[in-house]
C-alpha cells in the first residue's frame, strides 16, 4: 500500500451531519456529504467510533466492537457508506479502541460477576478498599484504579472509570481483537486507526515517585511484539494503519512505522501540540513557544526520515482545540493564518490528516458557561481546577482554550439554523460564527480556506517531491519562521511560514532565491517581498 501521496479526512460522526433530526450526526449524514468529500479529493475517511457505547467518552468506551450504535444508524447504512465511498475512490478507516473496553462490554460484565475467564481479560489486582495497588493517575483525573467491593479487587482504567484496560498479556484477549479486525476487513474497510496503542503493554505495577505512572506503561515491554502479532495474524498488513501514540519517542515511532518492522503504516505523536502547556501541564495556559515547535518538527521530521519511519501530519483532531484559535489568529488574519498553518504541515514528509471543519478554518467553541460543555475530561477538570483554587471565571477561561469540546462543535455547512448540521437541537452547540465560516460560502470563493486546502491535497497527489522527497529544516535560529526544504531528484521546494501577526525578516531575502531560479508557486498573499507579512506562507519551487 502506498500512502505517501494520500490524504486522510477525519470524521467525528456525532458532529458531522445529522440526517434524522435527533441532533446527533449519523452514518446517513456522512453518506449525504460524500460529494463534498470527493470534491476535496481526500483518499481515506477515518471515522471515530460509532459502535454501541454508553458514550461516557463519546464512543471511546466501546460496548460492542462489531455493531453500529442505533443512534448512528444500522449495519446496512454502514455497508452502503463503505460501498458508496468506495465507488468514489475513497476508503474507510475505522477506529479500534483496543487499550480498553467500556465497563458495559459483555466481557467486563461477566468479569464483574466473578467469571474467571473474563476477569483475566482485564487488569484486576487484590488490595484493601482504601489502598489502590499503585499511585497511578487516570488521564482524565483521579486514581487510575477503581475498587469493586463484590470482588474485593481493583481494576485499572488509564482513562475514565468506565474504560477498563484490557490485559494484553492474555493470549485470548489478543485473539478476540484479531477477530474484530478480520470482521471489519471482510466488510470492505480499508484501514484502521488504533487508539492509544502504545499503552497496551503494562510494565511493573509500582508506585511512581516522579510522575503519574505513564513511564511504566508507555511504549511498554511487549508493545512491539503485540503489534507485530496483531497485524500478522489478522491479515491487515498492507492496509493503511495509524497508531495514536501517547507521550512516545522518535526511536519507538520508527519501530512502529518502519516497513521492515511489519507493525503500522504511521504514527500520531503529540509533542508539537504541547508547546503552549506551561510546565507540561495542559491546564496551565501559556503563549505558544514557536522555537520549541520548530525544534520538535525538525527533530521528528528529520529523525523519522533517517530511521525509515513515517509520520502522520496533523494539527487537529477531536481532542485538541482548533489550531487557528491556538497558533493562528481568529480576527484580522483569520484566513491568512488558517492557510499558513495548513501549508506548514501538508508539505512536510508524512501523511496529512484533515479534521472536519479544519478545511474551513473553524475556530474554538467560545463557550462561556459550564452547562455548554459535554466532554467528560472537561467536566472532571472543571471540578479539579475549582477545587485547586481557580475562580469560575478563570476555570472557564482555561476550558475555553483547552477543552476537547472546542474541536467537537458541529460541522459548519451553511449560514442557516444550526449551520445545516441538524434540523433538531444539536447535542453540542453550534459555533455562532457559522454565519461567516461555513462550507457553502467557501465553496463559492476561490480565495477561501477551503479552496486552499483543495490545492494542497491536489499538489500532494501530483507531486512526487511532496510525497517522497527528503526534508531538511532551514532558518533554524529564527524564532518567528518555520521553514524547510524538500528535495527529490532535481526538484526542490522551499516553504516559509511566518507564525507571527506582524512582518518578520529572514536570514536571506526571498529575492535571492529567485535569482537562483526559484519561483513562487503557492502563498496566501499576492506577490513576493523580501520579508514575510503577518502569517504569510510562501512556497518556492525549482
Residues interacting with ligand TEU, by CB under 6 A?
Answer: 57, 60, 97, 139, 159, 195-196, 244, 246, 282, 318-319, 377
Q: Is 244 known to be catalytic?
A: yes
C-alpha distance across the termini of the chain, in Å:
29
CB of 2 to ligand TEU, least distance (A): 26
Q: Is 94 helix (H, G, I), strand (E, B) or coil?
A: strand
Q: Point out the residue whose Cβ comes nearest to ligand TEU.
A: 60
Question: Which of 207/281 has CB closer to ligand TEU?
Answer: 281
Active-site residue (options: 26, 195, 475, 536): 195
Question: Which of 100/500 has CB closer to ligand TEU?
Answer: 100
Are 45 and 90 spatial neighbours (Cβ–Cβ below 8 Å)? yes
Question: Which of 253/538 has CB closer to ligand TEU?
Answer: 253
CB of 261 to ligand TEU, least distance (A): 23
Work out the angle at residue 324's Cα, subtended by the Cα atoms of residues 319 and 327, and round it to the nearest 5 degrees.
90
CB of 226 to ligand TEU, least distance (A): 17
CB of 212 to ligand TEU, least distance (A): 11
Give 497-534 as a DSSP string: EE-SSS-B--SS-HHHHHHTT-EEEEESSSS--SSB-T
Question: Kind of pairing, strands 281-285 and 277-278?
Answer: antiparallel
> Which pairs with CB-CB distance under 8 Å and at least 24 residues apart come from 179-185?
179/234, 180/65, 180/66, 180/96, 181/96, 181/230, 181/234, 181/235, 181/236, 182/234, 182/235, 183/65, 183/66, 184/66, 184/94, 185/234, 185/235, 185/236, 185/239
Question: Which of 57/219 has CB closer to ligand TEU?
Answer: 57
CB of 400 to ligand TEU, least distance (A): 15
Cell 487484590 sits at which residue?
A: 126
Question: Which of 222/282 has CB closer to ligand TEU?
Answer: 282
Dihedrals φ, ψ of 361, to 5°?
Answer: 80, 30
CB of 389 to ligand TEU, least distance (A): 21
Closest CA relative to residue 164, chosen from 215, 121, 198, 204? 121
Active-site residue (options: 26, 43, 77, 244): 244
Question: Which of 170/380 has CB closer to ligand TEU?
Answer: 380
CA distance 502 to 304: 33
Question: Which of 121/314 has CB closer to ligand TEU?
Answer: 314
Largest CA distance in the chain: 77
CA distance 274 to 140: 17
CB of 162 to ligand TEU, least distance (A): 11
Give 261-286 as a DSSP string: G-S-SEEE--GGG-TTEETTEEEEE-
CA distance 57 to 64: 15
| Residues β-bridged to residue 483 | 474, 496
CB within 8 Å of 212: residues ≥ 6 apart: 136, 137
Kindly list the catalytic residues. Answer: 195, 244
Amino acid at each position: 500500500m502506498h500512502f505517501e501521496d494520500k490524504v486522510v479526512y477525519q470524521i467525528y460522526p456525532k458532529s458531522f451531519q445529522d440526517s434524522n433530526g435527533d441532533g446527533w450526526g449519523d452514518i446517513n449524514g456522512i453518506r449525504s456529504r460524500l460529494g463534498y468529500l470527493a470534491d476535496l479529493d481526500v483518499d481515506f475517511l477515518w471515522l471515530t467510533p460509532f459502535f454501541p457505547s454508553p458514550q461516557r467518552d463519546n464512543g471511546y468506551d466501546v460496548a460492542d466492537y462489531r455493531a453500529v450504535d442505533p443512534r448512528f444508524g444500522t449495519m446496512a447504512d454502514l455497508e452502503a457508506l463503505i460501498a458508496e465511498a468506495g465507488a468514489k475512490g475513497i476508503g474507510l478507516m475505522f477506529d479500534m479502541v483496543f487499550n480498553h473496553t467500556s465497563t458495559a462490554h459483555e466481557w467486563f460484565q461477566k468479569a464483574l460477576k466473578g467469571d474467571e475467564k473474563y476477569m483475566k481479560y482485564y487488569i484486576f489486582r487484590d488490595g484493601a478498599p482504601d489502598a489502590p495497588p499503585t499511585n497511578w493517575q487516570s488521564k482524565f483525573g483521579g486514581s487510575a484504579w477503581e475498587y469493586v467491593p463484590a470482588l474485593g479487587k481493583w481494576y485499572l482504567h488509564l482513562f475514565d472509570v468506565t474504560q477498563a484496560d484490557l490485559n494484553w498479556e492474555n493470549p485470548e484477549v489478543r485473539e478476540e481483537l484479531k477477530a474484530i479486525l478480520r470482521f471489519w476487513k471482510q466488510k470492505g474497510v480499508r484501514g484502521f486507526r488504533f487508539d492509544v496503542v502504545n499503552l497496551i503493554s503494562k510494565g511493573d505495577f509500582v508506585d511512581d515517585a516522579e510522575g503519574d505512572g505513564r513511564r511504566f506503561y508507555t511504549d511498554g515491554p511487549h508493545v512491539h511484539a503485540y503489534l507485530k502479532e496483531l497485524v500478522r495474524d489478522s491479515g491487515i498488513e498492507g492496509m493503511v494503519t495509524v497508531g495514536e501514540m501517547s507521550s512516545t519517542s522518535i526511536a519507538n515511532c520508527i519501530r512502529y512505522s518502519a516497513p521492515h518492522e511489519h507493525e503500522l503504516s504511521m504514527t500520531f505523536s503529540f509533542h508539537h501540540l504541547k508547546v503552549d502547556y506551561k510546565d507540561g501541564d495542559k491546564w496551565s495556559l501559556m503563549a505558544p513557544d514557536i522555537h520549541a515547535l520548530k525544534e520538535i518538527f525538525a527533530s521528528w521530521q528529520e529523525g523519522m526520515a533517517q530511521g525509515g519511519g513515517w509520520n502522520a501530519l496533523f494539527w487537529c483532531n477531536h481532542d485538541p482545540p482548533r489550531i487557528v484559535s491556538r497558533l493562528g489568529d481568529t480576527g484580522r488574519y483569520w484566513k491568512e493564518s488558517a492557510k499558513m498553518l495548513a501549508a506548514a504541515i501538508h508539505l512536510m514528509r508524512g501523511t496529512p490528516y484533515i479534521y472536519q471543519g479544519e478545511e474551513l478554518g473553524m475556530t474554538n467553541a467560545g463557550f462561556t458557561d459550564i452547562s455548554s460543555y459535554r466532554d467528560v475530561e472537561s467536566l472532571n477538570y472543571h471540578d479539579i481546577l475549582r477545587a485547586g483554587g481557580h475562580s469560575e471565571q478563570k476555570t472557564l477561561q482555561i476550558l475555553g482554550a483547552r477543552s476537547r469540546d472546542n474541536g467537537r462543535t458541529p460541522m459548519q455547512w451553511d449560514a442557516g439554523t444550526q449551520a445545516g448540521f441538524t434540523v433538531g437541537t444539536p447535542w453540542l452547540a453550534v459555533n455562532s460564527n457559522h454565519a461567516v465560516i461555513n462550507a457553502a460560502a467557501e465553496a463559492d470563493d476561490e480565495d477561501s480556506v477551503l479552496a486552499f486546502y483543495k490545492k494542497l491535497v491536489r499538489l500532494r497527489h501530483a507531486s512526487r517531491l511532496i510525497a517522497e522527497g527528503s526534508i531538511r529544516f532551514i532558518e533554524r535560529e529564527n524564532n518567528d519562521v518555520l521553514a524547510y526544504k524538500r528535495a527529490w531528484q532535481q526538484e526542490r521546494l522551499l516553504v516559509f511560514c511566518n507564525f507571527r501577526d506582524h512582518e518578520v525578516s529572514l536570514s536571506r531575502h526571498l529575492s535571492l532565491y529567485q535569482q537562483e531560479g526559484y519561483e513562487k508557486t503557492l502563498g496566501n498573499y499576492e506577490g513576493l517581498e523580501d520579508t514575510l507579512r503577518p502569517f504569510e506562507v510562501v512556497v518556492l519551487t525549482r
